[in-house]
């Protein structure tokens, strides 16, 4: 079992292994060192995320092999070395729009995030937990996208606004500071770049490859500071293998994790 | 623990999570269903692959938690539902070229592949094992790549030839037929397309995004036939969650695996 990084979030995490995605890019740079585990759930908010916590992050070693009534094994064999928590885009959906089912009030959003962090940390205090804010919203991009799907029947009422999402982003960063956790303020970071609306967002909400690159570089910065780039290979590099006695390199190579 | 697909191979597997990569594309389409586990080892041949087998594919459940002398936990909690075995590009390196350290005679290559399959099947007979042949070689592309790195000092002796690699590819397919396993003949498949040398290969050996797409579509075809696209989501889709009583969908949703 190699060390694991779990990416826990909504569709922006679920889609992170598409071409140019930030999750796939993490899996690539840690390809010989760490397993990047995808736990992205399209459409989910933090309220629903709480309902999965015990299964995705089991607290007791014996729970790793808990089998539910239909024999579905859940959990993982070892707590992850790091978790990214990337919710808020759906919590911030407006009560007035098509995403009202997904709306979670901002105080509850912050409280749910705190519960997720506390759950993970209670099972494994050394796990590096990173909070990621939702990306900014381009209302016009959302509208164009809705029209491309539904034509004249597209709702004219925005499902999300940039201002509302910004309030959630702020609370996410505030919570990270309160808990002493690193955070990535994607909402602010993206808006530093002119033309962020089309450059970083494909439909006013989800990420283009350039938008994925922003998330990737910010997350990797934190992993680098935590020394992840120094993690050992699971097996010896090709160059260390003596073609005459290949077993030697394997016997000598036993990474301390 | 979700079902796992393990991608076991050399650099063409290790690099499969780069942008447009076939591994990332698999992780994306199975993002709510299966974990795609990357076990790609750049430069490795089948002889060296044998030295990792017991750790990557532990045979006994108790071995899943075997701890080596330096406390490095190895293995996985459950045998994988599928494994792709994608070696041969290095085995087929010519004894006359710069890759001679990596060369493995073709009879031994076939025998090593057989041992890998037998090992996996002995621990878990129902695991779907797919054998993938090495891609074709573009000697001119290899030469250009070497020149871009070393200029005039680049070796003029080819490290690989398409004909030699073709012999390995043929033995790979023959073995799959002998063992009744599905196989992907990447070597032949790619050469059906005019201009395969530049279209599918970036340096005469490794894959462009278009080359990755060939591997992805051939592998997915086999997974589809095995019913993988019908595998259940690990947690309910957003659309099935009642916003007033979200816990209901989670209690009802227990995927049989």
We report the CATH number of the domain holding residue A123 as: 3.40.50.1110
Question: Touching check for A70 and chain B: CB below 8 Å?
Answer: yes
Distance CA B106, CA B108 (A): 5
Contact assignment for B43 to A238 by CB distance below 8 Å: yes
Phi and psi of B52, rounded to 5°?
-105, -10
Distance CA B128, CA B256 (A): 18
Nearest neighbour of A72 by CB, restricted to B27, B28, B255: B255
pLDDT confidence tier of residue A98, bands split at 50, 70 and 90: confident
Q: Among all residues of chain A, which has the CA nearest to that of B41?
A: A32
Q: Which structural domain, as residue segments, surrounds residue B195?
A: 4-226
Task: Give how far A177 is from chain B: nearest CA, Å.
Answer: 30
Average pLDDT over residues A100-129: 97
pLDDT at A68 over 60: no
Q: How many residues belong to chain A?
A: 257
Average pLDDT over residues B151-180: 95
Identify the pLDDT of residue A254.
64
In chain B, the N- to C-terminal Cα span, in Å, equals: 10
- Identify whether A141 is part of a domain: yes
Per-residue tokens: A49: 């995320």
Contact assignment for A17 to B38 by CB distance below 8 Å: no
Helices A22-29, A209-225: axis angle to 10 degrees equals 40
B positions 172-201 inside 8 Å of A (CB): none
The β-bridge relationship of strands B4-9 and B128-132 is: unpaired
- Interface probe for A, chosen from B22, B48, B209 (most Cβ of A below 10 Å), is B48
- Identify whether B232 is part of a domain: no
B positions 135-174 inside 8 Å of A (CB): none
Q: Is the CB of residue A13 less than 8 Å from the CB of residue A39?
A: yes
- Identify whether A240 is part of a domain: no
Task: Give how far B69 is from chain A: nearest CA, Å.
Answer: 8
> Which residues in chain B are contacts of A17 at CB distance < 8 A?
17, 24-25, 27-28, 31
Contact assignment for B68 to A209 by CB distance below 8 Å: no
Question: Touching check for A247 and chain B: CB below 8 Å?
Answer: yes
Residue with tokens 């002995």: B122
Tally of domains within chain B: 1
Question: Touching check for B221 and chain A: CB below 8 Å?
Answer: no
What is chain B's alpha carbon radius of gyration, rounded to the nearest angstrom? Answer: 20
Q: Please give the C-alpha separations between residue B170 and each of B139, B167, B185, in angstroms, as whole numbers.
A: 19, 5, 8
B positions 89-118 inside 8 Å of A (CB): 100-102
Identify the pLDDT of residue B254.
64
pLDDT confidence tier of residue B60, bands split at 50, 70 and 90: low
Task: Give how far A160 is from chain B: nearest CA, Å.
Answer: 17
Mean pLDDT, rounded, of chain B: 91
Please list the active-site residues of A.
11
Q: Which residues pair with B112 in a beta bridge?
A: none
Contact assignment for B254 to A70 by CB distance below 8 Å: yes
pLDDT tens digits along A227-238:
999 999 999 999
Q: Among all residues of chain B, which has the CA nearest to that of A20?
A: B19
Q: Among all residues of chain B, which has the CA nearest to that of A71?
A: B256
pLDDT confidence tier of residue B256, bands split at 50, 70 and 90: very low
Contact assignment for B76 to A77 by CB distance below 8 Å: yes
Residue B27 buriedness (CB in 10 A; 0-12 / 13-18 / 19+)? buried
Identify the pLDDT of residue A249.
93
Average pLDDT over residues B47-76: 65
Distance CA A69, CA A88 (A): 32
Per-residue tokens: A220: 């990797």
Question: Which of A189-193, B97-101, B106-110 is predicted least confidently?
Answer: B97-101
- Identify whether A246 is part of a domain: no
Distance CA B235, CA B250 (A): 7
ipTM computed for the complex:
0.91
Per-residue tokens: B23: 């591994």
Distance CA A5, CA A128 (A): 9
Average pLDDT over residues B64-89: 66
Nearest neighbour of A246 by CB, restricted to B51, B209, B238: B51
Distance CA B215, CA A59 (A): 39
Task: Give how far B242 is from chain A: nearest CA, Å.
Answer: 8
> Which residues in chain A are contacts of B35 at CB distance < 8 A?
37-38
Q: Is the CB of residue A176 less than 8 Å from the CB of residue A182?
A: yes
Q: How many residues belong to chain B?
A: 257
């Amino acid at each position: 079992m190699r060390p694991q990084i779990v990416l826990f979030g909504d569709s922006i995490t679920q889609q992170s292994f598409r071409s140019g995605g930030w999750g796939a890019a993490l899996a690539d740079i840690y390809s010989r060192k760490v397993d990047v585990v995808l736990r992205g759930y399209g459409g989910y908010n933090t309220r629903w995320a709480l309902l999965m916590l015990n299964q995705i992050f089991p607290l007791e070693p014996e729970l790793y092999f808990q089998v539910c009534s239909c024999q579905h094994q859940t959990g993982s064999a070892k707590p992850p070395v790091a978790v990214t928590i990337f919710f808020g885009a759906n919590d911030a959906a407006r009560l007035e729009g098509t995403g009202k089912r997904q709306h979670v009030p901002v105080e509850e959003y912050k409280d749910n995030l705190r519960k997720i962090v506390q759950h993970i940390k209670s099972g494994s205090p050394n796990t590096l937990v990173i909070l990621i804010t939702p990306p900014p919203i381009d209302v016009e991009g959302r509208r164009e996208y809705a029209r491309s799907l539904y034509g004249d029947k597209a709702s004219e009422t925005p499902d999300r606004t940039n201002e509302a999402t910004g309030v959630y982003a702020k609370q996410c960063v505030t919570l990270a500071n309160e808990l002493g956790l690193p955070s990535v303020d994607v909402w602010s970071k993206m808006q530093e770049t002119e033309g962020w609306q089309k450059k970083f967002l494909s439909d006013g909400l989800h990420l283009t490859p350039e938008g994925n690159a922003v998330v990737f570089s910010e997350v990797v910065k934190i992993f680098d500071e935590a020394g992840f780039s120094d993690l050992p290979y699971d097996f010896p590099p090709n160059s260390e293998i003596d073609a005459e006695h290949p077993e030697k390199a394997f016997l000598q190579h036993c990474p301390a994790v």
